[in-house]
Every structure is written in C-alpha cells, then in structure tokens.
C-alpha cells in the first residue's frame, strides 16, 4: 500500500506550484530495470523491502519483451537494480542479450558487493568485467561499525573483500571498467558534501585496504519502504519530512533522474523512478483506464509527460539533491 504518496495533499506538487516550477520528462537516456526484490541482505534503509525470502523476480519472458522493445529504441544505457539483481536466474542471460543487440547498450549493475562472494557467484565479477558492465556499489560508510549497523554483521568485511576482488580485475582502474560507490546516511539526516566525502573515502580506502574507485555518489534516504517504517517506529517520520521540506532546492529540479530515466518493474510495468515503483505509482494511459507496461509505450512520445510526484520527492530535492548519479547541484 502506498505510504507517503496516498496523503490527500501532495506537498511537493504544492511547493513546485508555489515557485512556478514544473516537473516534466525530457528525452529518455536510461532504462532502469528493477528485476525483483530478492536480496541476500536486509538493510535497515532499504526502500525496496528486499530480502532473501522475497519471491518477486523477473521471468525470462519479461526479459525477452524488454530486449525486443529496447532493440527498437536508441536508449543508450540499461541500469539493472533490485534487490540484488545478480540473484535472478536470468541475470547473465539479460546482460548477454543487451550486449549483443545490433547497437549494444552500456549496462550498469547496482551491486551490494557481498553477493560477489556468495557461494555460486564466484565467477560473477569476471563475467561483469568481460561484458564491460559498470558497477555502482553500495558502501554507506568507510567505518565497519556504521556499515554493519545499517546492512548487517560482517557486511563491511565482505564489501572490502569484494572491492579488492573488483580492483584485481581492473575495476576502478581501467577506464572501461568504472566502479562507483554509493553513500547514504545511516540515520535521519542529509548527506554531507559529496566532494569532501569522496576525498575521505578515497584516502581511507587507499590507506587501509589499497582500494581504488572512480566516484562516490551521495544519496539521501527517501522516506519510503523499510526506512519509512524505521522512522515511524522511532517517532521521527514527520521530523524527517520537515527537514527535507525545509531543505528544498529548486536548482535540483532539472537534474532529477525521473526526467530522463524510465523505470521498469519485475513484471514490466512502467514508472517515473524506482521510488515511485515501490509506492505503486504505475503509469496509466491518457484515459486513466489502463495501467501501462514497457511494451505499451513509445519512447519518442513521452517527452514532456508530467512526472507523478508525492511528498517522498522532497528526498530528491533536499540540499544538494539526490539522483542515481548522486548530488545534483550545490545546496541552496
């Protein structure tokens, strides 16, 4: 059931209207596919409520329909997310087919790192390197205590070992094998300066573990999924919302990921972003009578379409902003 978005008043839409701002789609550049909710971890901040017992995963038939659709477009990037996207049985099938299209597309894997060391996945990092898959990996802190508190006991050590493995294959070193890390706060506060954090991560990882990576993306936690439950149970949900609302930065609007990304769910349904996906804000046709799937839409006709918003959108526009590629602008 949608959480924040079902409130009668959409404070985000009101805020945009007050500043005479509009949030509409630009040309699609990224197809972000959430292949399911299955994951080997159960992180506290997870907006997907992912975990080892989740059964929702993308079927091969859906993958084939997505590939067919993609082949007819010129969208250059496919961004695979989850859950742990690597855990669906057809993960490699999906990547091989994307890479062997007449016009091969760039592939991003949003990886939790620890999956690379799980039994049965031993050759996965080599597969990713051979297919020139860019890796964007979660790493919420360079301190073991913070990472383990948010993601589970032992996750820090596993993540470090996985990063060392990726470096040994050239990730973060070879320009064809980009390796980016994602920071998100361990509580109900906004990320600090992305540039300063990146410099700290780089020096700490190099000094203590000999690890190299390309960029650090600082993301805000959106008040949905497991993070919203955590806020609600600790009585901090409205306080966090107020923090986000007060930090609204209009300069972030043009760089929001929902402007150039099409988000697809494990059944092929379409959304403006992965957050809207978790809130069930699926696209409908003009008459609002038919819910849309990827194969129902023409990517050339969605430019200027109004983006569906809710209070959770304040999480993307607070401070320096937050998008799939990290901060969007300087804090206002």
Q: By C-beta, is 169 or 307 nearer to ligand SF4?
A: 307
CB distance 152 to 42 below 8 Å? yes
Q: By C-beta, is 119 or 235 nearer to ligand SF4?
A: 119
CB of 87 to ligand SF4, least distance (A): 9
CB of 207 to ligand SF4, least distance (A): 26
Q: By C-beta, is 11 or 312 nearer to ligand SF4?
A: 312
CB distance 38 to 83 below 8 Å? yes
Q: By C-beta, is 173 or 299 nearer to ligand SF4?
A: 299
Residues that bind ligand SF4 (CB under 6 A): 39, 41-43, 46, 48, 50, 82-84, 112, 138, 256-258, 272-273, 275-276, 307, 309, 312-313, 316
Q: By C-beta, is 82 or 319 nearer to ligand SF4?
A: 82
Query: What DSSP character marks residue 87?
Result: G
Tokens standing for residue 127 = 């597969």
CB of 94 to ligand SF4, least distance (A): 17
Q: Encode burial over 177-210: b for 16+ CB neighbours within 10 A, e otherwise.
A: bbbbbbbbbbbbebbeebeebbeebbeebeeeee
CB of 20 to ligand SF4, least distance (A): 17
Q: Residue 38 class from Cβ within 10 Å (0-12 exposed, 13-18 middle, 19+ buried)?
A: buried
CB of 5 to ligand SF4, least distance (A): 9
Look at residue 269 and give its three-state secondary structure: strand
């Amino acid at each position: 059931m949608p959480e924040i978005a079902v409130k009668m008043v959409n404070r985000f839409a009101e805020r945009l209207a007050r500043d005479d701002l509009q949030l509409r789609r630009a040309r699609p550049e990224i197809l972000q596919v959430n292949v399911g909710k299955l994951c080997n971890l159960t992180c506290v901040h997870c907006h997907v409520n992912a975990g080892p017992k989740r059964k929702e995963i993308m079927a091969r038939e859906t993958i084939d329909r997505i590939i067919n659709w993609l082949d007819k477009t010129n969208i250059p990037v496919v961004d695979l997310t989850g859950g742990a996207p690597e855990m669906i049985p057809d993960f490699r099938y999906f990547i091989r087919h994307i890479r062997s299209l007449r016009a091969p597309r760039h592939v991003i894997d949003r990886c939790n790192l620890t999956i690379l060391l799980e039994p049965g996945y031993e050759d996965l990092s080599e597969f990713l390197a051979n297919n020139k898959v860019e890796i964007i990996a979660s790493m919420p802190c360079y301190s073991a205590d913070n990472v383990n508190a948010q993601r589970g006991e032992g996750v820090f050590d596993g993540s470090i070992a996985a990063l060392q493995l990726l470096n040994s294959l050239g990730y973060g070193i070879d320009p064809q094998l980009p390796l980016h890390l994602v920071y998100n706060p361990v509580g109900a506060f906004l990320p600090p300066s992305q540039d300063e954090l990146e410099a700290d991560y780089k020096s700490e990882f190099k000094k203590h573990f000999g690890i190299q990576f390309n960029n650090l993306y600082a993301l805000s936690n959106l008040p949905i999924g497991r993070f919203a439950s955590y806020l609600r149970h600790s009585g901090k949900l409205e306080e966090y919302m107020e923090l986000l609302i007060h930090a609204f930065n209009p300069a972030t609007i043009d760089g929001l990921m929902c402007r150039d990304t099409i988000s697809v769910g494990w059944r092929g349904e379409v959304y403006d972003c992965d957050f809207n996906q978790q809130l069930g804000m699926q696209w409908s046709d003009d008459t609002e009578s038919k819910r849309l799937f990827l194969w129902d839409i023409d990517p050339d006709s969605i430019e200027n379409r109004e983006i569906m918003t809710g209070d959770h959108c304040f999480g993307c526009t607070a401070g320096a902003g937050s998008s799939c590629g990290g901060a969007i602008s300087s804090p206002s």
